[in-house]
Amino acid sequence: MFKPTVGPIIGHTTTNHARIFIRGEAKNSETTFAGLRYRKFGEEQWTKATFVSLSALRDLCEVFSINDLDSDTEYEYQTGWFSPMNPAHNIESVAELPLQWPREVYRLRTRSTETRQARAYIVGSCRYLRMTAGIASLPQLGDRIFASINQLIEGAEPPVSATLMTGDQIYVDDLNLVAPDREYKDILHKYRTAFSQPNIQKLMSGTSTYMILDDHEIEDNWPANADKSDHELYRNAMAAYEQYQVSHSPAHELKFNGQINREKLEHYWYQFSDGDIEWFVTDSRTRRNLSADDRRILDQEQEQALLEWLINSPARVKFVVTSVMFYPDRKVLGDDAWKAFPEQRLRLLETIRTQRIKNVVFVSGDVHGSLTSRLTHSEDPDFEVHTIVSSPLYNSILLPYAKTSTFILDQPLAVTAAGNYRHELTSEVISEDNFAHVVVEAGQILVNYHDRDGKQLQSIAIKLH
Kindly give the residue spans of alpha helices, DSSP state H, lying in 13-136. Answer: 91-94
138-193: pLDDT as tens digits: 788 899 999 999 999 998 999 999 999 999 999 998 765 555 668 999 999 999 99
Give the separation between CA 167 and CA 212, rounded to whole angstroms: 5
* C-alpha closest to that of 239 among 374, 57, 89: 57
H or E element: which one contains 320?
Answer: strand 317-321
pLDDT at position 72: 96
Inter-residue contact 195 to 204 (CB < 8 Å): yes
What's the pLDDT score for residue 175? 61
Q: What is the spatial distance between Cα 25 and Cα 31, in angstroms, rounded to a whole number?
A: 10
Is pLDDT larger for residue 375 or for residue 175?
Answer: 375
Report the relative pairing of strands 371-377 and 277-281 from DSSP bridges.
unpaired
Note the pLDDT of residue 178: 52
**Residues above pLDDT 90, as percent of the chain:** 87
Segment 297-340, tens digit of pLDDT: 999 999 999 999 999 999 999 999 999 999 999 999 889 999 99
Tell me the C-alpha distance between 168 and 170, whole Å: 5
Tell me the pLDDT band of 134, cut-offs 50, 70 and 90: confident
Cα Rg of the chain, angstroms: 22
Whether the upstream peptide bond of residue 87 has omega within 30° of 0, thus cis, is: no
Q: How high is the pLDDT of residue 137?
A: 77
**Structure confidence at residue 116 as a pLDDT band (50, 70, 90):** confident
What one-character-per-residue DSSP string does 36-70 give?
A: EEEEETT--PPPPPEEEEE-GGGTTEEEEEE-SPP
pTM as predicted: 0.96
Can you list the alpha helix ranges (DSSP code H) found in 296-341?
300-312
Question: Rounded to an integer, what distance in angstroms lies between the CA atom of residue 90 and that of residue 52?
Answer: 9
Measure the CA–CA gap between 340 and 291, rounded to whole angstroms: 12
| Residues 166, 123: Cα–Cα separation, whole Å | 7
pLDDT digit string (tens) for 404-429? Answer: 999 999 999 999 999 999 999 999 99
For the segment 200-247, what is each residue's pLDDT rounded down to a tens digit? 999 999 999 999 999 999 999 999 989 888 999 999 999 999 999 999
Strands (E), 323-418: 360-364, 371-377, 380-389, 414-416
The torsion angles phi and psi of 314, rounded to 5 degrees, stand at: -85, 5
Beta strands in 378-443 (DSSP E): 380-389, 414-416, 419-425, 434-440
* Cα separation values, 152 from 147, 219, 392, 448, Å: 9, 33, 18, 11
pLDDT band at 448 (very low <50, low <70, confident <90, very high): very high
What average pLDDT does the segment 240-255 reach?
A: 97
Q: Name the DSSP letter for residue 228.
A: G
- Mean of the per-residue pLDDT values for the chain? 95
Cis peptide before 98 (omega within 30 of 0): no
Q: Say if CB 254 and CB 65 are below 8 A apart.
A: yes
State residue 133's pLDDT score: 67
**Contacting residues for 124 by C-beta, under 8 A, at least 6 apart:** 145, 149, 163, 164, 165, 166, 365, 390, 391, 392, 393, 434, 435, 436
State mean pLDDT over 263-269.
Answer: 96
For residue 329, what are the contacts with CB-CB under 8 A and spacing of at least 6? 337, 338, 339, 407, 408, 413
Question: Amino acid identity, residue 90?
Answer: N
Q: Are the C-beta atoms of residues 193 and 139 closer than 8 Å to each other?
A: yes
pLDDT at res. 345: 98
- Quick one: pLDDT at residue 180? 62
End-to-end C-alpha distance for the chain, whole angstroms: 52
Per-domain boundaries in the chain: 6-109, 119-463
Q: What is the pLDDT of residues 388-408, one digit of tens each?
A: 999 999 998 888 999 999 999
Cα(363)–Cα(161) distance, integer angstroms? 16
Q: How are beta strands 270-274 and 317-321 bridged, if at all? A: unpaired
pLDDT (mean) for 71-85: 95
Domain 119-463, architecture per CATH: 4-Layer Sandwich (3.60)
CATH assignment of 6-109, given 2.30.110.10, 2.60.40.10, 2.80.10.50, 3.40.50.1480?
2.60.40.10
Q: How many CB atoms lie within 10 A of CB 323?
A: 27
Quick one: average pLDDT of 428-440? 98
Mean pLDDT of 67-90: 93
pLDDT confidence tier of residue 135, bands split at 50, 70 and 90: confident
